[in-house]
Structure 1
Amino acid sequence: MGGGGGGGGGDDEEWLPRCPCPADVTIVLVGKVGSGKSATANSILGSKVFASKHSYSSVTKMCQMSRTTRSDGCAEPRTINVIDTPGLFDMSTTTEDTRKEIAKCMEMSKNGIHAMLLVFSADSRFTREDADTIECIKIFFGDSIVNHMILVFTRGDQIGEVNWKDMLADKDASYLQDVAKQCSDRIILFDNKTIDAQHQEEQLNKLLDAVDSVISNNNGIPFSNKMFTQIKEEHDRQNEIGVQGSAEQTSMPRHDIYDGYLMLITKMVEEKLNSTIEKLQKQLMEEQKARQKIESEVAEAKMRSEEEIRKLREELEKAKQDSDKARQFYEKFKWMECAIM
């Protein structure tokens, strides 16, 4: 597994790109409130674009996108689009505002997601709930999204590389180890507090190496699915309507056209979320039934076991009584034999 910004199951060379770098790269940061998403996004961008502070409530209130241009080993400078999200996909996703923000996130990344950074705080225990969040993302997007996932753990300044490696190897870190395995051990410790320019550049290069590895492993093709395709088609259609409307001097304001477009995407997201929730409820019911069946079988086995033990005890008692009776007869007849003689 990766260490302080290092690679996954092996050396950093495994993360070197093996195909041409795309001119545009889209990175989406996802994670719980307070995990350090915005700070990590700012580190990638090289400036404080997104509001970031340590807080128990979400500092990022809506999906935001910014971009930067980097020349980092590619033949030509490339644009890196960074999308910061307000604590999405942790399955508190039932409010209207959250649905709208998921819709915005998908609209911003309509051309596909090259890498999804799942951001966690390294100074907090990785729990079953964290692992379940990733399962929810897989259910929402589809299993193939894991091929584009990178685990990023912030607070590297507090943990340190040695402690981090010990934490990853800990036998009690099974949830984290299972998730890391799903992501092919693409896991990075990141320090957003460092003021060391060399360290900043080194860890950013390692993070972008991991992104390039994901891009390469997917043959340069970003993650997309049916919903992304529908959003892109609707976007192109709205653009066409806008162009025609301009030519015909339509009375409908541009922002009304965009709002209608966003409402359509929100409806798509809502339908997908509802189907995801239904799927989770069905899965939960099946798991509960399976658990109840096992509990019933265990109880029956216990009853059978207790009944079998009772029968064995009765048989043992009977055998003991028979043995005592036989011994008594033996002693009686032995005494009679001695008396006769």
Structure 2
Amino acid sequence: MSLYKMGGDMMEDDWEFASSSNPNRTLVLVGRTGNGKSATGNSILGKKAFKSKASSRGVTSTSELRRVVQEDGQIINVIDTPGLFDLSTAAEFIGKEIVRCITLAEGGIHAVLLVFTVRGRPTDEEQSVLYHLQTLFGSKISDYMIIVFTGGDDLEDNDETLEDYLGQECPEFLKEILELCDNRMVLFDNKTTNKRKKAEQVQKLLSLVDAVARKNNGKPFTDELFHELQVETKLKETAKRLEKQLGEEQAARLEAEERANEVQKRSSDEIKKLRENLERAEKETKELQKKLGKCINL
């Protein structure tokens, strides 16, 4: 076993113990500050790898990766992220963290764990989380999403199940997210000391990760796919920009043609008036000449 440095932190590198028949899995935790992302990461890893405490202010300031090797040799990589979609988070910071997250996930992202809490109602900023994810990663990202609800101990204290909670409290945007990810969801109690309960909730999560892998034919969300989506997005943006530019040019051309037609019509009207004035002047001149001729004859 060796030690190496990642993002300023020392981590155990157990890579050499991995079995080729048990490929590593990389999971990314995403959600609002205070929903329990770091605590969930610790539950998955089975150790206190991430700083976690009950606070409205984020403890995680930048994306961090930690890993654990299971008994069967499978490596589980967990990437904890700061509150990327909090209202106070700047767009530039979000962009940098997404790039860092993709960089940390060297072999690709096998599942995005979207973390909500059953303690209280979802906030306004959480209602736009799906939009933000799809904007950054493309609509394909929903195929990799698993919804993790934290606060399982609260439900247990009230003799409620997750299904009870969703039936009574589930808002429309959350129903939409669950539908998009084929209802892949799991409830976590990050405070429990019951080893069996800890193992069961992690095992359920990993079975959902396997379901995600099957859905995507074993292909993780990779840097290459991310760039493909970015290129696709840029192409769409370019197409929209060109379409808008073409529309503006066409509108300008029509306006110019209308202006030219107005000028031409105005010129035609002016020429017609000039011709009429000239004809009237010629007529008046001829009448004047006739009158002059009669005066001379007299």
- Shorter chain as normaliser: what TM range? 0.5 to 0.7
C-alpha distance in 2, partners of 1:92/1:123? 22
Rg bigger for which structure? 2
Letter in 2 for 1:142: G
Q: Which residue of 1 aligns with 2:75?
A: 79
- Helix, strand or coil at the partner of 2:56: coil
C-alpha distance in 1, partners of 2:93/2:176? 32
Q: Which residue of 1 aligns with 2:47?
A: 47
C-alpha distance in 2, partners of 1:87/1:180? 21
- CA drift of 1:134 comes to 1.3
Q: Which residue of 1 aligns with 2:60?
A: 60
Contact 1:26-1:80 at 8 Å conserved across structures: yes
- CA drift of 1:173 comes to 2.7
Letter in 2 for 1:176: L
Contact 2:102-2:222 at 8 Å conserved across structures: no
C-alpha distance in 1, partners of 2:139/2:21? 25
Deviation digits for residues 47-80 of structure 1 (CA, Å, limit 9, x no counterpart):
0011000001000111100111113xxxx51111
Of 191, 210, 220, the residue aligned with 2:208 is 210
Q: How does 1:50-199 map to 2 (within 5 A)?
A: 50-71=50-71, 76-90=72-86, 92-94=88-90, 96-127=92-123, 129-160=125-156, 162-170=160-168, 173-199=171-197
Letter in 2 for 1:100: K
Letter in 2 for 1:213: A
**Identity of matched residues, %:** 42
Q: Which has the higher strand share?
A: 2
C-alpha distance in 1, partners of 2:119/2:21? 34
C-alpha distance in 1, partners of 2:91/2:53? 24
C-alpha distance in 2, partners of 1:141/1:98? 12
C-alpha distance in 1, partners of 2:165/2:128? 20
- Helix, strand or coil at the partner of 2:182: coil
Q: Taking structure 1 as reference, are residues 64 and 172 closer, same or farther at Cα in structure 2, changes over 3 Å only?
A: closer
Equivalent residue pairs, number: 215
Contact 1:121-1:155 at 8 Å conserved across structures: yes
Query: Of the two structures, which has the highest relative contact order with CA contacts closer than 8 Å and spacing of 6 or more?
Result: 1
What TM-score results when the alignment is normalised by the length of structure 2?
A: 0.65
Q: Which residue of 2 aligns with 1:258?
A: none
- Structure 1: tracts of 5 or more residues without a match: 1-19, 231-267, 280-341
- Structure 2: tracts of 5 or more residues without a match: 1-19, 242-298
- CA drift of 1:152 comes to 0.4
Contact 1:28-1:83 at 8 Å conserved across structures: yes
Q: Taking structure 1 as reference, are residues 139 and 97 closer, same or farther at Cα in structure 2, changes over 3 Å only?
A: closer
C-alpha distance in 2, partners of 1:32/1:63? 14
Q: How does 1:245-284 map to 2 (within 5 A)?
A: none
- Helix, strand or coil at the partner of 2:128: helix
C-alpha distance in 1, partners of 2:161/2:26? 32
C-alpha distance in 2, partners of 1:115/1:227? 14
C-alpha distance in 1, partners of 2:102/2:135? 16
Letter in 2 for 1:182: L
Q: How does 1:11-30 map to 2 (within 5 A)?
A: 23-30=23-30
- Helix, strand or coil at the partner of 2:163: helix
Matched, 1:200 2:193: no
Letter in 1 for 2:179: K
C-alpha distance in 2, partners of 1:229/1:98? 17
Q: Taking structure 1 as reference, are residues 141 and 228 closer, same or farther at Cα in structure 2, changes over 3 Å only?
A: closer
